[in-house]
Chains A and B, each alone.
Chain A
Amino acid sequence: AQKVTQAQTEISVVEKEDVTLDCVYETRDTTYYLFWYKQPPSGELVFLIRRNSFDEQNEISGRYSWNFQKSTSSFNFTITASQVVDSAVYFCALATSSGNTPLVFGKGTRLSVIA
């Protein structure tokens, strides 16, 4: 069975602080994909990143960075110098290699950035 755990239900930080959102996954597949999505107050889910199981390189995109560690089955997401616009619910998700199976989502972490 596949599972994604986002243990942090809600996080609140002051603007310009760094914040890390945790994601731990479970799967027996050797090939899989991990995702992060952002859900702003408007409700639409916005795709942020996809990472496959063979690529453990960390990725940085502006103030966003992702740390993938197979040894701990984690795919954590860090926002540097957080801004009020980063306030949203963030979802981590997992998919198998087949491509036709739906994503398995974590329950999400609500991030509030206070000015």
Chain B
Amino acid sequence: SQTIHQWPATLVQPVGSPLSLECTVEGTSNPNLYWYRQAAGRGLQLLFYSVGIGQISSEVPQNLSASRPQDRQFILSSKKLLLSDSGFYLCAWSGQSGRKNIQYFGAGTRLSVL
């Protein structure tokens, strides 16, 4: 069966520090991968998605970047965090066949920028 892992679960970082959040998927190949952010009490905002290695689409220009160095690995980064980067970050994957547009989510990372 397929599983998705996100880490860390919680992170507290000072303003101006770098960020690296990692997401990996097991049990499937060539998944579509997604990064979302959810501010407190708000809806989901799509940040990036990827349909293959090295292919990244950015939905919102901002302080963040994403990379996909391996087929089932998706990394969210920032060189200098802002206070507004605080939020709940969710990684998701969807398959390439069958019920291909159902997205399955990781447990999320709660980021507090102080």
Contacts and interface: CB of A to CB of B under 8 A. Distances in A.
A42 interface: yes
A100 B108 CA distance: 22
Interface size class of B (residues with CB under 8 A): 20 to 34
A50 B101 CA distance: 9
Interface in A42-84: 42-47, 50
A46 B106 CA distance: 9
A25 interface: no
A52 to B, nearest CB: 10
Main secondary structure of the interface of A (DSSP, over half): loop
A71 B51 CA distance: 33
B43 interface: yes
A108 B43 CA distance: 6
A42 B105 CA distance: 12
Interface string B65-81: 00000000000000000
Given A33-B101, A43-B108, A44-B107, A102 B43 contact: no
Interface of B: 32, 34, 42-44, 46, 49, 51, 59, 88, 90, 92, 94, 96, 99-108, 110
Interface of A: 33, 35, 37, 42-47, 50, 91, 95, 99-103, 105-108
